[in-house]
Structure 1
Amino acid sequence: MIRRWAGYVRLAYRPAIQLPYTISWALGLTALFASVTGTVTAWRPDTELVITVVTVVLAMLLMRGLDDIRDLDYDREHNPGRPLPAGLVSERDLLTMVVLGSVALLALNSWRGTALVMLAVQMAYTGAVIAIDRFAGWPHPDRLGLQVAVNLPIQTLLSLYVYSGFLRAEGLGPSAPGIVAVLAVTVGAMCLEFGRKATRRPKPGERTYVTVLGPSGTSLAALAAAVAATTVVLVVIEPWRPGLGWGWLVLVPLVLPAVSVARFARGAIRWPLMPTLAYIPAMYTSFLAVGLLTKGAFG
């Protein structure tokens, strides 16, 4: 089973893509919290953050496994080469991985108070969404808007877990700027959600927002998500204030969705792959740079 798990991680989780995404998420979001929390004057990555990073990385792997179980029927028809429909792993393999991994993550966070609670809530909500989808068929796969509304809290709850870990490490309580930062990155994630499904020629049966918004509408929705998230982050960082000028760095990642929109407008069949995948890690990396430059090792 361990060999099958390893093959699954290599083929379905794709560490070269997922590790930059998940590690930058935990590090960058924590740095953003430090940047927008006025009572934090000095910030350094610590042991608490290491646990947060490991947890986010593994939690996303477990969610990948649950997603593949949920999407098995769809993948059998449209993505038969994926590990589960191809028979490289079984549903039992993935369920065992999810159960054992969940127990391990809860044990790793067992002493972290509110962070443990948020992690447990996130896991429970994710499991409930997958179970209802798998056994009751709700929401219907064609109702993409409802699907997004139901699935979006999964990432929001994981970001709140990261926030809880930050608050514990700093000995602080929650604040409005921190909550707003969580909402901003949730909106930012929609850039990837729309962008990876922006196409002029949907494959037969492909689930894409193009059927509702059209190709240009889907492309512009992806860009709008990135712009909205960046605008909110700028408001809470306030880079126009003395000593916070490095905050303008959060504008840099917007180049990536802007390039994608331009290429798509010039006739590309889909949003270009690399700028689309790179945007979220770039967004979080910009937060990490701002945190280190304003309140961290280089501040």
Structure 2
Amino acid sequence: MTSFPPAPARLGRFVLHRFRPHLYVTYGLLWVLALESTAVAATGRAWRPSGATWVRVTSVVLALLFLRMLDEQKDLAHDRVHHPDRPLVTGAITAAELRGAMAVITVGAAALNAALSATDSLLLLAALGYGLLLAALERLSSAVRDRQLLGLAVTYPVQVVLGAYVYGSLVAAGTVTADWRGAVLLALSACVFLHFEFARKTAWEAPPGARLYAADIGPRRSALVTAGFAAGAVGCQVPLCAPDGPLGLLPCLAAALPAWGTLRFLSARRGAWPMPTAIGFVVATYLALITRAVLWP
């Protein structure tokens, strides 16, 4: 008789396989710290992390795990054909176990944020709820499910809602006052993420089963969009950071990475986008924003 490891062990293996901590946790950490620190530094004050900061970091990482578990279930039919080694396909984890873990994450994250304010809990639950709404929409709409760009336009706002949770939490705590800089901050983080998102789905050739934006709009146009989002991220930094002088321009130096990536991709005319440049742009931009805020004034 076949014996299966306990559910916590299977969930642990799922997390290590499909939610690689060195990527997702690092991204969530840098994203929240960059958003919070830049929001504070933009008001002319020095930033230091607080207990509330780590609640926000933990909440965003948990939300990203929740969304990863949700995506795994949404993509099951596609994975059965193109990715037969995925945990849900092989039976290494079950949909019921993932849904149970998602329920625990929801309750735990809501309780964690209740220690800050009811507003924090509601903003975080809005992001998780939007993810569930998207899952239902994808089941009902083949266009959203199968058309890459339409799917991105519909699904990406969940990241905006998570960013709004971080900024809204700062406003609710009285750390910052809501103004135009909040919108610029959310646009900045959107451009950083979308540069990475387009980069990982931009290639001259599309392998079987691959869902590439380049397959819809062509590799050159996809490359230009990828570069355009990097330019947008740099542009958003100008009104937030440039008034601080040379230190404020530090985050803009990260633009060298997507510039080199664009040149390399277009000149090669084969293969995929050089992902180290896209990952490096995310890390360098957020680290530079955090460094600027810590060193201010």
Q: Deviations over 1:86-138 (max 9, x none)?
A: 221111111111111111000101142322221111111111101221x3145
Corresponding position of 1:245: 246
Q: Distance in 1 between matches of 2:170 and 2:286?
A: 15
Give the partner amino acid of 1:145.
L
Corresponding position of 1:109: 113
Q: What SS does the corresponding residue of 2:251 show, helix, strand or coil?
A: helix
Q: Does 1:31 align with 2:37?
A: yes
2:126 to 98, 121, 125: 121
Deviation at 1:254?
1.6
Q: Report if the CA contact (8 A) 2:110-2:125 is conserved.
A: yes
Give the partner amino acid of 1:114.
T
Give the partner amino acid of 1:110.
A
Q: Report if the CA contact (8 A) 2:40-2:176 is conserved.
A: no
Q: Does 1:154 align with 2:158?
A: yes
Alignment of 1:88-237 (within 5 A): 88-111=92-115, 112-133=117-138, 135-237=139-241
Corresponding position of 2:267: 266
Deviation at 1:209?
1.1
Higher deviation after alignment, 153-162 or 284-293: 284-293
Q: Report if the CA contact (8 A) 1:37-1:177 is conserved.
A: no
Corresponding position of 1:285: 287
Give the partner amino acid of 2:121.
L
Q: Distance in 2 between matches of 1:282 and 1:85?
A: 36
Q: What SS does the corresponding residue of 2:272 show, helix, strand or coil?
A: coil
Q: Distance in 2 between matches of 1:211 and 1:121?
A: 33
In the alignment of these two chains, the number of paired residues is 289
Give the partner amino acid of 1:4.
R
Give the partner amino acid of 2:41.
S
Q: Distance in 1 between matches of 2:176 and 2:228?
A: 33
The runs of 5 or more residues in structure 2 that have no matched partner are 1-6
TM-score in terms of structure 1 length: 0.91
Q: Report if the CA contact (8 A) 1:132-1:138 is conserved.
A: no
Q: Distance in 1 between matches of 2:259 and 2:135?
A: 33
Q: Distance in 2 between matches of 1:66 and 1:199?
A: 27
Q: Report if the CA contact (8 A) 1:49-1:166 is conserved.
A: no
Q: CA RMSD in A?
A: 1.7
Q: Distance in 1 between matches of 2:57 and 2:168?
A: 13
Give the partner amino acid of 2:60.
V
Corresponding position of 1:14: 20
Query: Percent identity among equivalent residues?
Result: 28
Corresponding position of 1:254: 255
Q: Which has the higher helix share?
A: 2
Q: Deviations over 1:33-91 (max 9, x none)?
A: 112234xx232110110100111111111110001111111111122222222221111
Q: Distance in 2 between matches of 1:79 and 1:19?
A: 24
Q: Distance in 2 between matches of 1:85 and 1:256?
A: 37
Q: Distance in 2 between matches of 1:108 and 1:42?
A: 26
Corresponding position of 1:72: 76
Higher deviation after alignment, 21-30 or 260-269: 260-269
Corresponding position of 1:63: 67
2:49 to 45, 59, 68: 45
The runs of 5 or more residues in structure 1 that have no matched partner are none
Corresponding position of 2:4: none
Structure of higher RCO (CA pairs closer than 8 Å, 6+ residues apart): 1
Q: Deviations over 1:181-211 (max 9, x none)?
A: 1122112211011100011110123211112
Structure 1 residues 203, 80: closer, same or farther in 2, change over 3 A? same
Q: What SS does the corresponding residue of 1:163 show, helix, strand or coil?
A: helix
